[in-house]
């Protein structure tokens, strides 16, 4: 049975927006190195950085019908997260669907499949993270699901979870953990700002983080010249 | 025997140029989802969009001698289409060949192999769609063919066919079909313009295309909450 | 035993800088088509072109501890060259390490693994050639070596060798050969400048390089129309 | 925090064993085309076909320490399911761990990483489904988790779920659904046995499944010769 | 429009069978190094070697409906050649379709997509060359074509052409050329038998083929020890 | 200049043969996890296990001329190690060259490119480790080098070094280190034999290697049930 879930609990908007001010790598680290989608998802143009609440879509290979169904379920501040039930590089998404999503306030698309109309999407500034660019067309024959939990590019995404994406890739933050992850991410960002200042001044991380003793105990040896030369 | 065919029938220039005003995805759709080259061919810089008539070159792996032979067969408005007889990522093409092609009015290169001198080609604005970027050199030892039909990145290309390439990839339109495909592509583009306006205004494709009935007959079910929660 | 070699012989600075004015493809050709790193190493942003002396780092998979150790061994004009002992796409390198390296005058990073903080590195203008972009974190548990010879992306790199990188990829020039390779590269670049001028004027490489006789002897045949048509 | 869960609810043994008599493709179909692990997991030798209850292990890249921890949690009838937290092809598993697992009655290993000692494992008849064969060693430095839910090769696996693997790949059946999936799989296998008998006798599936009308309505056209010939 | 062509001209049976006694590499060489399908097509079990006449099937991604349609068009001595219109690794083919094809005398399947039921197909001895093994299911929603020319794994295949497949891969021989290619292949095989006898006796190909002069003219130099040692 | 080095120092035969009695993984571990060739090299048939002294051949892409040159330099007990100067999957090697090599006592081939005549090589029992199986032909146009050091599949191989290959892959042992690596490999094999006996008897590696304390100090926590359930 194919299902569309109409009412989902979305992460708190202010938390979502605050997470969007932090980088994917920082958030990934702050939540214990979890939640990262596979690195095969790449942005279609550089420089985008968005956060939003996930509306999830499970689609058949080569069939984008459910994307049309999903548009209706989107609200301002959402990000569409799409995974095919078997691998497909077809061009599921293009300018027209982006126009429809933008009209509803959707902030971007994450899709473990192909995308097309790259030039138009770039002009619109509508960001997409996809595993392929392909003009290959899709059909509208077979159903899927909207707003059920799914695995996208190796990560579990539940409807309403927070999705953050930038030039490094895509990370998902579970809705119940969003506040805590935000706090941990901010703490990490502050710590990194401190480190950055010290490194700019020439301090070494070996000293700043007191690594020399542990390195020596592990057996690191400094020599003046390459052994045997 | 290696052959260079000197006289080929080229698609009509005004048709070629008009097709260049339409996107690869649109043309691919308008001709029944055929003619698309494999998505592994990517532009070396973003934003290029060209059309032209194919001059085809079959080359040995790692040997670019026939590109030099092919230059002489090119005319204003052509696009060079190159396929190796076995897979190769070597850097067959660079700035010097681009200079020679540009002097003859060639509009770009499509090659199912590697390309180099990316910085110079970007500065020249000479667009290339290739499967790899590689500085690896090639030799000039073995012959190939110019202007015979060939398979490039999975698609059959005949000399004189129309080639259109943009950020989405590359599509070939058979010469005898060019007029019809142009008409069909324009019709599709117009239809899409109408759809775009409706979607910008917030109309749903579910309604615009009257999909709700067929979705329901296929068994799509709307629920308020995730089953089992 | 893990070793850090403190004193390495670096290629002459003026030679290194002069090589940085030449392209990777030119240098690769000029030294007999050797020294090219595998084409899987791609720049994280377009347009960078650097040269420097190699500080080499052999790292365990998913462990970037030795990068911190290596920073201390770097000097103005160096390029860090990093290879994992088994394949890894993890994000070994980001903004903080780049800040530390820049403070010491390092010109860039070449890494046969993953890189993150792409947006920040782009803003800093710190160039990286990597095999992947990935936010995946790394650990600091296991030692490696600094300034021993290593194989990076298929090429042998010795500490102090010259590394040149641009949009085409990365090439290494052995330190003892640097002067000769510079001379040969310059000669090649001059020859190419001459060819470029001739090609811009419409001369054919078939004539400029007197290829017609050899092509004919190999059996190249010109026909007016495709055989069998 | 790294966690080992000691007591997990395992699927019923007789159901597990009965599922092992059915093929991966049949089970995958019978449970609505869900639960299939990515096709990159391939058996290290042909002909193995096993079922068992999942003991799950989340491991760092290039670090097999947690496999040693997991052995203790295994019981007769289990299958070890291992996923790295970031991609790794290292050789996590070999003959010694197989010996330890076999001594506890474990029936096989499913790992989204590398495996080694292929010759010895083949001689032992201990089946492994892995994404790579690699002799590359791993370390024992960093912790992971045992018996938490994880995503392995794109599928969600919970401890105690049923895992079935054969030459086609690997499928997971959620523990609460195991009885129903067994019944559905048996029904499908019986139906297929009937179809097989009819097809052996020369009946066409077009007739057996009454497809001709629907094909005609979709527009399928039979012609005597290729159009245009 | 989707089309099934009912009457195709098949290559002569005795020629087809004789080609089946020769290897794929030999035939590929004998017809001027053309007709080879991409090396991504691999046999599902070792040791198969078949020849037959092509029945071609163009299929949508993830949809195997047309395979059922194609069965009816097959005759004794055919090989089914299947290409998806966009890349798909789904499991289009399994034991039931193999049973139906075998009942009609079909000798094997060549498919640029996925195959399943490997264990059963191996027991049946029904050979398949595919790009993937995958249990992923397919649908029956969208039409394709039977017995139109198509590009499969990069090679043009026309209905009725000869297909030969062995452990090395798959080669297609155009129907009109089959007699000539058979003669050329036999000549090559005889020549190789002569060479084999000489090499077994210890003769060098350098002498048997008189290569020493040409090698010397190209500049090959024999030295007693590595230069610089 | 292309060079053939005629006299190379080969590793001691008895050491070479003794290393052939040990597995690739064991040797790789015993020499500090170095010397492993990339896992893309796979055996063309299962079950082969050989050792020998390297005769190295650097070849152009798609050109196997130098293999013919190399045959003459081979002696009883050698293994041919071949690397192309840029990536190539062409079928450089087949039955005839294997016949010539076998006549000289060569034990196998390691090639970072393609191989063909798989059925014949399997019947001969001549083992090959290659990156691809491909019937694609090669030319004899361009020179390379025999018996110079080269990088093959990411590892440095010097002429006369020991090469060991089995179902796990290929490892190279530097000639000067062969005695020491043999001793270390034997020690490791003995230690593993002891471990195997203990594991067969049901002892846990956690206890045998006294890991529990270190695991606890790192923070490993045992719980009875999944947290939150």
Q: Tell me the ipTM for this assembly.
A: 0.94
Tell me the pLDDT tens digit for each residue of D58-113: 998 889 999 999 999 999 999 999 999 888 899 999 999 999 999 999 999 999 99
Q: What is the pLDDT of residue F22?
A: 98
Per-range mean pLDDT, top range of E134-143, E219-228, F75-84: F75-84
Among residues D161, D133, D165, the alpha carbon closest in space to that of D148 is found at D161
- N-terminal to C-terminal alpha carbon distance within chain B: 71
| Residue D204 to residue E114, Cβ atoms within 8 A | no
Strands C169-173 and C220-223: unpaired
Tell me whether E113 touches chain D (CB under 8 Å). no
* Beta carbons of D159 and D148 less than 8 angstroms apart: yes
Strands E78-84 and E50-59: parallel
Tell me whether A145 touches chain E (CB under 8 Å). no
Residues of A in contact with B227 (CB under 8 A): 3
CA distance C39 to D133: 24
Dihedral through CA F103, CA F109, CA F113, CA F116, nearest 10?
Answer: 50
Averaged pLDDT of chain C: 95
- Two structure tokens written together for F6: 């005629």
In a 3-state reduction of DSSP, which class is residue F115? strand
Chains that touch A (3 or more CB pairs under 8 A): B, C, D, E
* Rounded to 5°, angle at Cα D215 from D209 and D220: 145
CA distance B186 to B183: 5
**Residue C30 backbone phi and psi in degrees, to 5:** -65, -25
Residues of E in contact with D199 (CB under 8 A): 96, 99-100, 103
E strands present in A6-107? 42-43, 50-59, 78-84, 91-93
For residue B62, the chain F residue with the least C-alpha distance is F61
Touch between E and A (at least 3 CB pairs under 8 Å): yes
In a 3-state reduction of DSSP, which class is residue F88? coil
Task: Give the pLDDT band of residue E225 (cuts 50, 70, 90).
Answer: confident
- Mean of the pLDDT values across residues A60-89? 94
Q: Which residue has the higher pLDDT, B88 or B73?
A: B73
- Name residue C210's beta-bridge partners: none
* Beta carbons of C34 and C116 less than 8 angstroms apart: no
Measured CA to CA in angstroms, residue D8 lies from B58, C210, D161, E118, F227 at distances of: 61, 78, 10, 33, 12
Chains that touch C (3 or more CB pairs under 8 A): A, B, D, F
Residues of D in contact with F110 (CB under 8 A): none
| Residue C116 to residue A192, Cβ atoms within 8 A | no
* Beta carbons of C152 and C81 less than 8 angstroms apart: yes
Averaged pLDDT of chain F: 95
The Cα of B131 is separated from the nearest Cα of chain A by a number of Å equal to 13
* Rounded to 5°, angle at Cα B6 from B4 and B10: 120
Task: Give the pLDDT band of residue C87 (cuts 50, 70, 90).
Answer: confident
Q: Left if phi > 0, otherwise alpha if psi is -120 to 50, otherwise beta: which for C155? A: beta
Task: Give the pLDDT band of residue F129 (cuts 50, 70, 90).
Answer: very high
The dihedral through the CA atoms of B43, B45, B46, B48 has a sign that is negative
Tell me the pLDDT tens digit for each residue of C60-74: 888 999 999 999 999
Task: Give the pLDDT band of residue F228 (cuts 50, 70, 90).
Answer: low
Tell me the pLDDT tens digit for each residue of A138-178: 999 889 999 999 999 999 999 999 999 999 999 999 999 99
Tell me the pLDDT tens digit for each residue of C123-178: 999 999 999 999 999 999 889 999 999 999 999 999 999 999 999 999 999 999 99
What does F151-200 look like in DSSP terms, one character per residue? Answer: EETTEEE-TT-EEEEETTEEEEE-GGGHHHHHHHHHHHHHHHHHHHHHHH
Residues of F in contact with C86 (CB under 8 A): 36
| Residue A119 to residue B223, Cβ atoms within 8 A | no
CA distance F136 to F63: 11
* Beta carbons of C136 and D86 less than 8 angstroms apart: yes
With a cut of 90, say whether residue B228 has pLDDT above it.
no
- Mean of the pLDDT values across residues E140-163? 95
* Rounded to 5°, angle at Cα C177 from C175 and C183: 125
| Residue E71 to residue D221, Cβ atoms within 8 A | no
Measured CA to CA in angstroms, residue C127 lies from A196, C43, C59, C115 at distances of: 18, 7, 20, 11
| Residue A154 to residue D151, Cβ atoms within 8 A | yes
Q: What is the pLDDT of residue A106?
A: 98
Residues of A in contact with E141 (CB under 8 A): 139, 141-142
CA distance B184 to B207: 24
- N-terminal to C-terminal alpha carbon distance within chain D: 71
Q: What is the pLDDT of residue B151?
A: 93
Touch between C and E (at least 3 CB pairs under 8 Å): no
For C135, which of A24, A47, A192 is closest by C-beta distance? A24
Could you tell me which residues come within 8 angstroms of residue E148 by beta carbon, excluding any fewer than 6 positions away?
A: D226, E3, E5, E56, E58, E159
- N-terminal to C-terminal alpha carbon distance within chain A: 71
- N-terminal to C-terminal alpha carbon distance within chain F: 71
Averaged pLDDT of chain B: 95
Tell me the pLDDT tens digit for each residue of B174-195: 999 999 999 999 999 999 999 9
CB pairs under 8 A between B and E: 19
CB atoms within 10 A of CB A10: 19
The Cα of C85 is separated from the nearest Cα of chain F by a number of Å equal to 8
* Beta carbons of D65 and C139 less than 8 angstroms apart: no
Cα atoms in the Cβ-side hemisphere of radius 13 Å centred on D72: 17
| Residue C60 to residue D62, Cβ atoms within 8 A | yes
Find the helix or strand (DSSP H, E) in which C71 lies: helix C65-71
With a cut of 80, say whether residue A199 has pLDDT above it.
yes
For residue D37, the chain A residue with the least C-alpha distance is A86
Considering chain D, what percentage of its residues have pLDDT values greater than 70?
Answer: 99
Averaged pLDDT of chain D: 95
* Rounded to 5°, angle at Cα B107 from B102 and B112: 105
- Mean of the pLDDT values across residues B89-104? 96
With a cut of 80, say whether residue E141 has pLDDT above it.
yes
What does F17-84 look like in DSSP terms, one character per residue? Answer: HHHTTS-HHHHHHHTTS--BPPTT-EESSTT--EEEEEEEEEE-TTB-HHHHHHHTT--TTEEEEEEE
With a cut of 70, say whether residue A228 has pLDDT above it.
no
Find the helix or strand (DSSP H, E) in which E24 lies: helix E24-30
Question: Please, what is the angle between helix E95-103 and helix D178-200, to 10°?
Answer: 10
Residues of E in contact with B155 (CB under 8 A): 151
Q: What is the pLDDT of residue A180?
A: 97
E strands present in chain C? 2-5, 42-43, 50-59, 78-84, 91-93, 108-115, 128-133, 145-146, 150-152, 155-157, 162-166, 169-173, 220-223
With a cut of 70, say whether residue B229 has pLDDT above it.
no
| Residue D39 to residue E94, Cβ atoms within 8 A | no
**Residue A55 backbone phi and psi in degrees, to 5:** -110, 120
| Residue B155 to residue E156, Cβ atoms within 8 A | no
**Residue A194 backbone phi and psi in degrees, to 5:** -65, -45
- Mean of the pLDDT values across residues B203-216? 94
| Residue A156 to residue D156, Cβ atoms within 8 A | yes
| Residue A200 to residue C99, Cβ atoms within 8 A | yes
Residues of B in contact with A122 (CB under 8 A): 46, 167
Tell me whether F24 touches chain D (CB under 8 Å). yes
Task: Give the pLDDT band of residue D116 (cuts 50, 70, 90).
Answer: very high
| Residue D156 to residue A154, Cβ atoms within 8 A | no
With a cut of 90, say whether residue D176 has pLDDT above it.
yes
Among residues E1, E6, E107, E114, the alpha carbon closest in space to that of E50 is found at E107
Length of chain D: 229
In a 3-state reduction of DSSP, which class is residue B140? coil
- Mean of the pLDDT values across residues E156-180? 97
The dihedral through the CA atoms of B17, B18, B22, B27 has a sign that is negative
Could you tell me which residues come within 8 angstroms of residue B129 by beta carbon, excluding any fewer than 6 positions away?
A: B37, B41, B42, B43, B44, B108, B109, B110, B111, B165, B169, B170
| Residue B220 to residue A143, Cβ atoms within 8 A | yes
| Residue D154 to residue A156, Cβ atoms within 8 A | no
* Beta carbons of C109 and C82 less than 8 angstroms apart: yes
Task: Give the pLDDT band of residue C228 (cuts 50, 70, 90).
Answer: low
Q: What is the pLDDT of residue C153?
A: 94
Residues of D in contact with E65 (CB under 8 A): 211, 215
With a cut of 90, say whether residue E178 has pLDDT above it.
yes
Averaged pLDDT of chain A: 95
| Residue A24 to residue C114, Cβ atoms within 8 A | no
CA distance F143 to D111: 44
Question: What string of H, E and C letters represents the secondary structure of C138-165?
Answer: CECCCCCEECCCEEECCEEECCCCEEEE
Considering chain A, what percentage of its residues have pLDDT values greater than 70?
Answer: 99
Chain F 71-100, residues with CB within 8 Å of chain D CB atoms: none
To which residue do tokens 């599949």 refer? F153
For A88, which of E61, E85, E139 is closest by C-beta distance? E61
For C39, which of B3, B120, B134 is closest by C-beta distance? B134
| Residue E68 to residue D209, Cβ atoms within 8 A | yes
| Residue B221 to residue A118, Cβ atoms within 8 A | no
Tell me whether C184 touches chain B (CB under 8 Å). no
* Rounded to 5°, angle at Cα F6 from F4 and F10: 120
- Two structure tokens written together for B74: 């090119």
| Residue D204 to residue E135, Cβ atoms within 8 A | no
Tell me whether C216 touches chain B (CB under 8 Å). no
With a cut of 90, say whether residue F229 has pLDDT above it.
no
Residues of C in contact with B143 (CB under 8 A): 215, 218-220
The dihedral through the CA atoms of C156, C157, C162, C165 has a sign that is positive
Tell me the pLDDT tens digit for each residue of C11-31: 999 999 999 999 999 999 999
With a cut of 90, say whether residue F85 has pLDDT above it.
no
Question: Please, what is the angle between helix F178-200 and helix D95-103, to 10°?
Answer: 10
| Residue A168 to residue C91, Cβ atoms within 8 A | yes
For E139, which of A60, A87, A134 is closest by C-beta distance? A60
Per-range mean pLDDT, top range of A83-97, B84-98, F93-107: F93-107
Q: Which of A84-93, B113-122, E75-84, F126-135 has the lowest mean pLDDT?
A: A84-93
- Name residue F168's beta-bridge partners: none
Tell me whether B112 touches chain F (CB under 8 Å). no
CA distance D188 to D140: 45
Strands E91-93 and E109-115: parallel
* Beta carbons of D127 and D50 less than 8 angstroms apart: yes
- Mean of the pLDDT values across residues D103-131? 97
Tell me the pLDDT tens digit for each residue of C92-117: 999 999 999 999 999 999 999 999 99
Touch between D and B (at least 3 CB pairs under 8 Å): no
Among residues B49, B106, B109, B110, the alpha carbon closest in space to that of B77 is found at B106
Tell me whether F142 touches chain C (CB under 8 Å). no
For residue B35, the chain E residue with the least C-alpha distance is E85
């Amino acid at each position: 049975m194919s299902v569309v879930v109409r009412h989902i609990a979305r992460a708190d908007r202010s938390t979502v927006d605050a997470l969007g001010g932090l980088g994917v790598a920082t958030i990934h680290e702050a939540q214990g190195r979890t939640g990262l989608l596979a690195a095969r998802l790449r942005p279609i143009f550089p420089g985008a950085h968005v956060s939003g609440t996930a509306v999830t879509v499970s689609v058949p290979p080569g069939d984008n019908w459910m994307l049309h169904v999903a548009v209706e379920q989107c609200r301002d501040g959402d990000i569409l997260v799409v995974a095919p039930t078997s691998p497909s590089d077809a061009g599921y998404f293009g300018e027209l669907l982006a126009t429809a999503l933008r009209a509803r306030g959707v902030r971007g698309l994450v899709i473990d499949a192909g995308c097309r109309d790259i030039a138009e999407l770039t002009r619109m500034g509508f960001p997409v993270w996809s595993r392929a660019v392909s003009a290959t067309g899709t059909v509208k024959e077979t159903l899927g699901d909207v707003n059920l939990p799914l695995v996208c590019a190796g990560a579990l995404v539940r409807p309403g979870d927070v999705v953050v994406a930038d030039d490094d890739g895509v990370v998902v933050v579970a809705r119940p953990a969003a506040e805590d992850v935000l706090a941990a991410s901010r703490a990490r960002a502050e710590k990194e700002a401190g480190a950055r200042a010290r490194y700019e001044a020439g301090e070494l991380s070996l000293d700043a983080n007191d690594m020399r003793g542990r390195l020596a105990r592990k057996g690191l040896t400094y020599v003046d010249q390459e052994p045997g030369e």
